[in-house]
Amino acid sequence: MENSIIYLILKTARPRQWIKNLAVFAALFFSGFLFVVPEEGSSYFLTVSYSFLIFCFLTSSVYIINDLIDVKADRNHPFKKKRPIASGKLSVPIAIFAAGIGLMSVVFMSLWLSLFFKALIFFYLFLQILYAKYFKHIPILDISSIATGFLIRVYAGAVVVNLHMSVWFLLTVISASLFLAVGKRQSERTLLSAQLDSALGSTRKILKRYSQRLLDQYTSMFATATWLTYALFTFQFENLAAKGEVVELYSLLPRTLHSQKLLMASLPLVIFGVMRYLQLIYESNQGESPERVLLNDRPLLMTVFLYVVLTFLIIYFIGA
């Protein structure tokens, strides 16, 4: 089973990374229009779910292409050398064929969507190829490219249903994306720090361009920016979707407890999440794979779950 072609292709495609593509739902979720069904066409949720599926095919194809480009460097990496292409278990022609099928599926599935969505798909693919070939070897540009990938996902989810996004929401996304990108570099450097300097350069040359002190400064800067921009977003947030019996119950409370800024109640969870992620980066060296951290760390997973539940209740039921 572990040596079958299908299994090796799926392993190279990294379906675990699809969790990052949930970013396409961000704009729809915070817009309050999650359950809206337009007079013509499918519901917003189904349309964005379709775009999520497209991004799953796209990102998996990109991971295969990236492994093809990085095959030599991966063979010198203590962990990446076990990847199917680097280890030789998955042949290069089969990997190229799988990536081609994935990209053709993306093109076909995008035919019915807007021109702007197609443009974002193309830009994402173009950016990832540039990242794999050039940007990942250039300081600051490598981190910016990773963050831009998240931003494109968010924009794609908004464009596909023609939603508006506030400036503070976008700044929050940018800050959080840069925070995750820097955390990835921070953990990569820590994991490889036990190796000789020459070995460090052969596995990930860009790490030699980042001093530990500089990465610490970047991490602190974007960790602060993440929760601060989110705080400003919640303060500016206008609830457009609150309806139902819960609103009536809310109206029974004294006016002292009424607030248009109820989303700020989620801020402590965001701050805790940032602090917990920092702890995992510095104490457990787990930031190299953000999706693995989210799925494996129970405190962080519970924080995300509580955050989603709380914000859902505030946006769609409680706020008036």
Same domain, 160 and 176: no
pLDDT in tens, the chain (320 residues): 667 899 999 999 999 889 999 999 999 999 889 888 888 778 999 999 999 999 999 999 999 999 999 888 888 777 778 889 988 898 999 999 999 999 999 999 999 899 999 999 999 999 999 999 899 889 899 999 999 999 999 999 999 999 988 899 999 999 999 998 898 888 777 666 555 455 555 556 677 778 888 989 999 999 999 999 999 999 888 765 544 444 445 555 555 554 557 889 999 999 999 999 988 888 766 555 667 777 788 999 999 999 999 999 988 887 54
Same domain, 224 and 270: yes
Same domain, 147 and 197: no
From 141, 165, 189, give the residue that closes a domain. 165
Task: Tell me what pLDDT residue 196 has.
Answer: 45
Same domain, 177 and 308: yes
- When divided into structural domains, the chain yields a total of 2
Residue 192 · residue 64 · CB < 8 Å: no
Measured at the alpha carbon of residue 19, what is the angle toward residues 267 and 239, in degrees to the nearest 5?
40
Same domain, 134 and 237: no
Distance of CA 306 to the CA centre of its chain: 19
Helix (H) or strand (E) holding 13: helix 5-13
Same domain, 74 and 222: no
Task: Tell me what pLDDT residue 231 has.
Answer: 95
Same domain, 73 and 179: no
Task: Tell me what pLDDT residue 244 has.
Answer: 44
Same domain, 6 and 111: yes
Whether the predicted model's global pTM rises above the 0.85 cut: yes
Same domain, 37 and 126: yes
Q: Distance between CA 142 and CA 144 in Å, rounded?
A: 5
Task: Tell me what pLDDT residue 74 has.
Answer: 80
Task: Tell me what pLDDT residue 246 has.
Answer: 44
Q: Count CB atoms within 10 A of the CB of residue 15.
A: 12
Same domain, 6 and 152: yes
From 165, 190, 220, give the residue that closes a domain. 165
Helices 141-159 and 44-69, axial angle in degrees (round to 10)? 150
Domain that residue 18 falls in: 1-165
Q: What is the DSSP code (8-state) at residue 209?
A: G
Same domain, 141 and 177: no
Nearest CA to 23 among 63, 46, 55, 47? 55
Write the CATH number for 37.
1.10.357.140
Task: Tell me what pLDDT residue 245 has.
Answer: 43
Same domain, 95 and 5: yes
From 165, 196, 224, give the residue that closes a domain. 165
Q: Which residue carries 């794979």 as its tokens? A: 289
The token pair that represents 283 in the structure block: 């104490």
